[in-house]
Structure 1
Amino acid sequence: MKPSLAKGTRDFTAQEVSRRKYIINILQNNFELFGFQPLETPSFENLSTLTGKYGEEGDRLIFKILNSSINEAKEDKKTQMLNDFQRALEKPFSSESLTDKALRYDLTVPFARFVAMNHGKLTFPFKRYQIQPVWRADRPQKGRYREFYQCDADIVGSESLLQEVDLVQLYLKSFSDLRVPVTIHMNNRKILSGLAEYAGITDKLIDFTVALDKLDKIGKDGVVKELLEREISQESIDKLDFLFSQSDDALENLLQLKEKFAGNEIGLQGVEELEFVLTQSLNLGVDIQNLVFNITLARGLDYYTGAIFEVKADEVAMGSIGGGGRYDNLTEVFGVKNIPGIGISFGLDRIYLVMEELNLFPEEASSKTEYLFANFGGEGTIEALKLIMQLRAKGISAELYPESAKINKQFTYAEKKGIKNLVFLGEEEIKNGTVTFKNLEAGEQKTVSSEEFLG
């Protein structure tokens, strides 16, 4: 049978692994600079831990694990279970006789479960970062896979808006270190709730925001059409017409909302929170061009309760490469109340694609052997291995071509692997205590003493 990959998964070559590690190392360094501590959780969770946390659409994308007990059941019971399973394939299912475990869908819910289980032992505010793979039964497309890594930073146990300000700084420093130009789009769940109240469509909040979120894809006419299809009245739509003519000045847009939200408590609270985050970020020297008040941003409304973030690359047509928000009620589903939280995530795979398209990976982001020692056989082999050991002891990568082969073959091997230098240790070099090496990139060849070579 011809081997193939499972849909939505990938193999990673040496170069890809090295470049991914380059991104991860920068993110990890910044997480720790900002006071976050590492955490890892299991690859799979109890199904009950995950379901009901991501909305109906999210629940459909959870990879469920078939119970092993189906294989151990008696024949009549097995037939019944297999029939149940066949029917379950046609619709979402949660029957514990078939499955009670699932691959984690994201890192936030497992983190909330961890906090709920260990809140008596943690020091609050508790700041953790987590870099691990997650799985979603999604339709694969560019930048979207069924198995992918998330790089998260979360803070629980504090309602301070300074946390939002700090996460803006974390985003901007990390992407600056990666040399990826970005814009951070910001909104607040309370502003969206305030808009729904202002237009008299509080009971249609999700319908309203789902349509509004498509503004950049289908335009004003498309959004209006969808709002009408969702049974939102023309009168309400007319009240929201100002949303389609926002200025480029975030603070000016917030001022306009303040006027419209007079007497609208939830809306005013959202405006004040976002105004604080924007103002303090600007006071810290953030370029206003890097921050956008995007009133149509409506991600994660099933669990976000305040600030909402989305990061977009400036020079590449790509979906968001980061996102997050405040989720003050998430641990309540695990029976633990009054633990507010906020977190952000970096999309490793999309960041990789952006950096690749913009040619931003430095040469050191590729894993390459520094020296390849040519193999001429005989005494030179042992002497080469001795030098290789000394190089490795200094942290310099080196290897010996494994067989005594024609030099052209060894040259070809070095070039294909991107090895920088080919070393010759023949009888003359051994006799004189020297080393000859050729820099394959520059085409220069030198002979130096062994001591000088080892530096």
Structure 2
Amino acid sequence: MKPSLAKGTRDFTAAEVVKRRFITGILQSNFEIFGFQPLETPSFENLSTLTGKYGEEGDRLIFKILNSGNFLDKIPSEELAERNARILTPKISEKALRYDLTVPFARFVSMNHGQLTFPYKRYQIQPVWRADRPQKGRFREFYQCDADVVGSESLWQEVDLVQLYLKSFGDLKIPVKIHINNRKILAGLAEYAGIPDKLMDFTVALDKLDKIGKEGVIKEMSEKGISADSAAKLDFLFSQTGDALKDLAALKERLRESETGTQGAEELEFVLLKCFELGVLPEQIAFNITLARGLDYYTGAIFEVKAEGVDIGSIGGGGRYNNLTEVFGVKNVPGIGISFGLDRIYLVMEELGLFPENTNSKVQYLFANYGEKEALHAMKIMEKLRARGISAELYPDGGKMKKFFSYSEKRGVENLVFIGEEEINDNTVTIKNQQDGHQITVPLDDFLG
């Protein structure tokens, strides 16, 4: 049978791995500069840990792991005949691949809160899995790079995370705009429109604006039982001026009867004002009133980052989730976090040509192999080079110079090193630069520096 990849997954070549490490290296460095500590959690969790945390749509995208053995043995035949997935799934699957890094992090905090120092700041760079429909920039297996803070309700955390986003994308040379909103504003809007009981339906529909447009959002709201009158009261959402503080001031006037909505607007105003006072430019951050991020656990500020000049969707996102650990029995642990989408960041950098030339994985010195004696001599020299952190490789097949040259070209080796009988006797090495073709013979001591 011809081998194939599972849909929505990829192999990564050496060149791709090096570029991905370039991105994660910058992110990891910035995470630590901003005071975050590393954490890793298992690739799969108990299914009960994950379900009910992402909303109805999110739950459907969780990859379930079938129990080992004959998992159907204990299922009554009448239940099997009903073919009810909701009833059968928890009986045949107790584990699932993690959907994101936030819920496993909340589980970790809940299990270890007595040993942690709060505010606890952690970063995590690991793969996650979603049973989504693969498309450009969207995969079923992909990496998330998260930074979260738990144990503080201070809005300075929101301000600091904006700084983290801008520094990281600045270091990667990606021009971005950070879109920000507050879930309390959305709750206030639901009250304003007379649909507080339809908050989740409203936010899930609104979150799809970029994908299905205004008419699609209105249609979906109608399908979810939101009346035309309520939808009409929300029509102003689709015609903002783009001036963050001006739009926010107008919104505060509409939400003056909603305590929750007013609180959300004031929180957002604080974050925006402090960001501007710290030098963030208006073109770098935008109040996006239609931003919803359709996950159940967000309770305050929500973020989404988009690359300028590239049509690829968001390359980062996150928000505040003050109630997440409560589902694990631990109360009063407020949290906020952001995520960097490694795979989409990679695609953006490729499209914009932002990777430095030195991100290619190349061997600096490739040694020719003239035979056993020469190869041993070369290996002794290579040992000294490697001890200094210089990449060096011996072509394994002795005497096959045609293959040696072909291999060196395909690998993009910078320098070829020739050590034959004459070089051994003279204690020299002959080096040929692959780029300009220049070849010199130098004393071995000079070569090793």
TM range (shorter): over 0.9
Q: 1:22 to 1:82 in 2, by over 3 A?
A: farther
Whether 1:171 and 2:165 are equivalent positions in the alignment is: yes
Q: 1:222 to 1:338 in 2, by over 3 A?
A: same
**SS state of the match for residue 367, structure 1?**
coil
**SS state of the match for residue 70, structure 2?**
helix
Aligned counterparts, 1:411-430, within 5 A: 411-430=405-424
Q: What residue is the counterpart of 2:16 in the other structure?
A: 16
Q: 1:410 to 1:60 in 2, by over 3 A?
A: same
Q: What residue is the counterpart of 1:404 in the other structure?
A: 398
Deviations 1:349-378 (A, max 9, x none): 111111111121112322211100011115
Q: 1:151 to 1:82 in 2, by over 3 A?
A: farther
- Match of residue 73, structure 2, among 74, 78, 82: 78
CA contact under 8 A between 2:79 and 2:88: conserved in structure 1? no
Q: 1:197 to 1:407 in 2, by over 3 A?
A: same
Between the aligned partners of 2:77 and 2:6, the Cα distance in structure 1 is 23
Q: What residue is the counterpart of 1:275 in the other structure?
A: 269
Aligned counterparts, 1:44-83, within 5 A: 44-70=44-70, 78=73
Q: What residue is the counterpart of 1:182 in the other structure?
A: 176
Aligned counterparts, 1:428-443, within 5 A: 428-443=422-437
Q: What residue is the counterpart of 2:332 in the other structure?
A: 338
Shift of 1:292: 0.9
What is the letter of the counterpart of residue 189 of structure 1? Answer: R
- Match of residue 207, structure 1, among 194, 197, 201: 201
Q: What residue is the counterpart of 1:159 in the other structure?
A: 153
Between the aligned partners of 1:393 and 1:214, the Cα distance in structure 2 is 54
Report the more deviating stretch, 438-447 or 281-290: 438-447
**SS state of the match for residue 288, structure 1?**
coil
**SS state of the match for residue 12, structure 2?**
coil
Q: What residue is the counterpart of 2:388 in the other structure?
A: 394
Whether 1:309 and 2:303 are equivalent positions in the alignment is: yes
CA contact under 8 A between 2:26 and 2:171: conserved in structure 1? yes
Shift of 1:238: 3.0
Aligned counterparts, 1:5-404, within 5 A: 5-70=5-70, 78=73, 91-93=85-87, 95-404=89-398
- The TM-score with structure 2 as length reference comes to 0.95
CA contact under 8 A between 1:70 and 1:98: conserved in structure 2? no
Between the aligned partners of 2:216 and 2:381, the Cα distance in structure 1 is 70
What is the letter of the counterpart of residue 317 of structure 1? Answer: D
What is the letter of the counterpart of residue 78 of structure 1? Answer: D
**SS state of the match for residue 133, structure 1?**
strand
Shift of 1:48: 1.0
Between the aligned partners of 1:449 and 1:83, the Cα distance in structure 2 is 84
Between the aligned partners of 1:22 and 1:87, the Cα distance in structure 2 is 51
Shift of 1:79: 8.5
CA contact under 8 A between 1:187 and 1:309: conserved in structure 2? yes
Deviations 1:147-189 (A, max 9, x none): 2111111100000000000000111111111111111110100
Deviations 1:244-268 (A, max 9, x none): 2201210110011111122321111
Shift of 1:97: 3.6
Between the aligned partners of 2:422 and 2:82, the Cα distance in structure 1 is 77
CA contact under 8 A between 2:186 and 2:261: conserved in structure 1? yes
CA contact under 8 A between 1:106 and 1:135: conserved in structure 2? yes
CA contact under 8 A between 1:196 and 1:202: conserved in structure 2? yes
- The TM-score with structure 1 as length reference comes to 0.94
Report the more deviating stretch, 133-142 or 112-121: 133-142
What is the Cα-based RMSD across aligned positions, in Å? 2.0
Q: What residue is the counterpart of 1:74 in the other structure?
A: none
Q: 1:70 to 1:82 in 2, by over 3 A?
A: farther
Deviations 1:183-208 (A, max 9, x none): 11101001111111112121222232
What is the letter of the counterpart of residue 255 of structure 1? Answer: A
**SS state of the match for residue 85, structure 2?**
coil
Deviations 1:79-115 (A, max 9, x none): 8579967976x73455544121111111111111111
Count of paired positions: 449
Report the more deviating stretch, 105-114 or 202-211: 202-211
Between the aligned partners of 1:146 and 1:221, the Cα distance in structure 2 is 29
Deviations 1:268-326 (A, max 9, x none): 11111111111111111112111011111111341100000001111211011111000
CA contact under 8 A between 2:107 and 2:325: conserved in structure 1? yes
CA contact under 8 A between 2:146 and 2:340: conserved in structure 1? yes
Shift of 1:123: 0.6
Q: 1:312 to 1:93 in 2, by over 3 A?
A: farther
Between the aligned partners of 2:207 and 2:74, the Cα distance in structure 1 is 46
**SS state of the match for residue 193, structure 1?**
helix
